[in-house]
């Protein structure tokens, strides 16, 4: 479900460099795109953006630019927040039927009057490069290789493998049980070939630190700024911080700064390797989306052949 990692990367100063790995993945994808073009295929990703949320607009713009950079066709379909659910579903149907579109992504969150689950279910599973359709969720759980896993968990697993982290038999603790990160992350980590022993913690978990202190691999995706501190981490653990939070900082021109769910300074003192925020997992998400789109193009071609 994830691209194969190359030889192990050495962590400098304990840092897992997501930007470095993202460039490696994009280079591989560019080669795949060139090979597909020789067969008359240009992978195409269509992103539907509803409303004018600034963060979503920035993220979608980055996806479109990366598509173009890698030789793929990137399209952003912008719609007002007042769009009806029927109108949005009609757009999805059109993209489902368009043979030049290999990947479809509807940017979340959607306006409250639209049923996000209905929109996700309307996307064809073989074009669902976000990996959120129930068919792809099921394929991930049972270990089918032709589905798509969500991009952030896939990126985390790639990072661990690229840095030579021993996952077989490792105690992996995941904080967060979202459908976007926590649950699919757990599914990936228990698959044959990864073979971790997984504990999923959440808001109802009792004595969170008792679980985190025994983790060989700690993956934090809770959405709470710097909630995991160094004293909650087993010495020598590998720490992956999926969180992205804005907190006040009077020293910055914007008045805020970006931090993860892990208190980086104290965690770095005890971890053997750790992802920074920014520069860690965030860069991997778009890279894995590009990899999924290229694979979708190849798989759709094989089905038609």
Q: What pLDDT, in 10s, does the model give residues 128-180?
A: 999 999 999 999 999 999 999 999 999 999 999 999 999 999 999 999 999 99
Q: Is 79 a catalytic residue?
A: no
pLDDT at 1: 56
Domain 151-282 adopts which CATH fold? Answer: Rossmann fold (3.40.50)
pLDDT at 174: 98
pLDDT at 47: 96
pLDDT at residue 5 greater than cutoff 70:
no
Catalytic residue among 28, 32, 107, 126: 107
Q: What pLDDT, in 10s, does the model give residues 206-223?
A: 999 999 999 999 999 999
Provide the pLDDT confidence category of residue 302 given band limits of 50, 70 and 90: low
Judge if pTM exceeds 0.85: yes
Catalytic residue among 17, 130, 216, 261: 130
* Cα separation, 60 vs 125, whole angstroms: 21
Q: How far apart are the first and last CA of the chain?
A: 22
Q: What pLDDT, in 10s, does the model give residues 92-141?
A: 999 999 999 999 999 999 999 999 999 999 999 999 999 999 999 999 99
pLDDT at 303: 56
pLDDT at 53: 82
Of 87, 85, 128, give the one whose Cα is nearest residue 105.
Answer: 128
| Domain-wise residue ranges, the chain | 40-126, 151-282
Of 169, 221, 227, give the one whose Cα is nearest residue 193.
Answer: 169
Q: Which CATH number fits domain 40-126: 1.25.40.10, 3.40.50.10860, 3.40.50.1820, 2.40.10.480?
A: 3.40.50.10860
pLDDT at residue 85 greater than cutoff 60:
yes
Q: Average pLDDT, stretch 295-302? A: 85
* Cα separation, 177 vs 197, whole angstroms: 16
CATH fold match for the domains 40-126 and 151-282: yes
Provide the pLDDT confidence category of residue 269 given band limits of 50, 70 and 90: very high
**C-alpha to C-alpha distances, 138 to 41, 57, 112, 143, nearest whole angstrom:** 28, 30, 27, 8
pLDDT at 153: 98
Q: What pLDDT, in 10s, does the model give residues 24-76?
A: 999 999 999 999 999 999 999 999 999 988 888 888 889 999 999 999 999 99
By CB neighbour count within 10 A (0-12 exposed, 13-18 middle, 19+ buried), where does 235 fall?
A: exposed
Q: What pLDDT, in 10s, does the model give residues 270-280?
A: 999 999 999 99
Question: What does the buried/exposed string (b/e) look like for 69-81 if buried means 16 or more CB atoms within 10 Å of the residue's CB?
Answer: ebbbbbebbeeee
Q: Is 115 a catalytic residue?
A: no
Pairwise pLDDT comparison (291 vs 247), residue with the higher score: 291
Sheet holding 273-274, edge to edge: 197-201, 171-175, 217-220, 238-241, 273-274
Catalytic residue among 17, 26, 32, 63: 63
Q: What pLDDT, in 10s, does the model give residues 65-78?
A: 999 999 999 999 99
* Cα separation, 290 vs 11, whole angstroms: 25
pLDDT at 254: 87
Q: Is 283 a catalytic residue?
A: no
CA 8 from centroid of its chain's CA atoms: 21
* Cα separation, 129 vs 22, whole angstroms: 17
pLDDT at 11: 77
* Cα separation, 261 vs 248, whole angstroms: 15
């Amino acid at each position: 479900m994830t691209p194969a990692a190359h030889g192990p990367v050495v962590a400098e100063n304990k840092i897992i460099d997501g930007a470095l790995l993202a460039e490696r993945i994009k280079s591989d994808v560019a080669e795949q795109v060139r090979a597909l073009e020789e067969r008359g295929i240009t992978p195409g990703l269509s992103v539907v953006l509803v409303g004018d949320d600034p963060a979503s607009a920035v993220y979608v713009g980055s996806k479109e630019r990366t598509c173009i950079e890698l030789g793929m066709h990137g399209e952003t379909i912008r719609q007002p927040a007042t769009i009806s659910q029927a109108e949005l579903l009609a757009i999805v149907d059109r993209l489902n039927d368009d043979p030049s579109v290999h990947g479809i992504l509807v940017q979340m969150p959607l306006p409250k009057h639209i049923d996000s689950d209905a929109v996700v279910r309307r996307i064809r599973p073989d074009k669902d490069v976000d990996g959120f359709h129930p068919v792809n969720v099921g394929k991930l759980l049972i270990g089918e290789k032709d589905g798509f896993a969500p991009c952030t968990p896939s990126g985390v697993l790639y990072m661990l493998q690229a840095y030579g982290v021993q996952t077989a038999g490792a105690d992996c603790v995941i904080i967060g049980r979202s459908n976007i990160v926590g649950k699919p992350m757990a599914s990936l980590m228990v698959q044959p070939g990864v073979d971790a022993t997984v504990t999923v913690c959440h808001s109802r978990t009792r004595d969170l630190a008792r679980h985190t202190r025994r983790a060989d691999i700690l993956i934090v995706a809770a959405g709470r700024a710097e909630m995991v501190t160094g004293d909650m981490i087993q010495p020598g653990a590998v720490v992956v911080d999926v969180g992205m939070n804005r907190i006040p900082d009077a020293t910055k021109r914007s008045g805020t700064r970006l931090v993860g769910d892990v208190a980086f300074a104290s965690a770095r003192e005890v971890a053997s390797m750790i992802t920074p925020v920014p520069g860690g997992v965030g860069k991997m998400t778009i890279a894995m989306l590009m990899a999924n789109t290229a694979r979708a193009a190849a798989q759709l071609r094989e089905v038609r052949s």
